[in-house]
Amino acid sequence: MTAPTVEPVTRLIDQPRVDLYAVAARDPNPIHRETPEAYSGPFGRPVAHGMLVLALVSEVMTNAFGEAWERGGSLKVRWRQPALVPIEVTARATLRSETDGVATYDVSCEDAAGEALLTGTASIRLES
């Protein structure tokens, strides 16, 4: 199998999405909700969960590789800046290398202005 081109995904991360994620993740941290703590905090408004942003990278890789990504994909990322709600986020993956049956992609999530929210690499063994 040759490493495929991975199509980007863009999603709006708004407060209702963050609130649903907070319940699912059992993360009641007030910095993610419309609370006095969020508005008086260092960012002046709610911040999306990092894992909610990171999930978009997994989505683009799952779209390209399906169950193979779920079984054996790996990610290594670094958060660059917080995702201040509401925010439109685009996840991208660009092939970096294909060696010994393993494809490695440069991955990122960016805001609408192209500022990086996270960057890193994703790797997956290519199936024959």
Contact call for residues 122 and 105 (beta carbons, < 8 A): yes
pTM of the model: 0.94
Q: What is the pLDDT of residue 69?
A: 96
89-109 confidence digits (pLDDT tens): 999 999 999 999 999 999 999
* Sequence spans of domains, the chain: 48-125
The tokens describing 59, both together, are 């989505």
Please report, as a single letter, which amino acid is at residue 92: R
46-65 confidence digits (pLDDT tens): 999 999 999 999 999 999 99
Pairing of strands 102-110, 74-79: unpaired
Q: What is the pLDDT of residue 104?
A: 98
Is residue 6 helix, strand or coil?
A: coil
CATH number of 48-125: 3.10.129.10
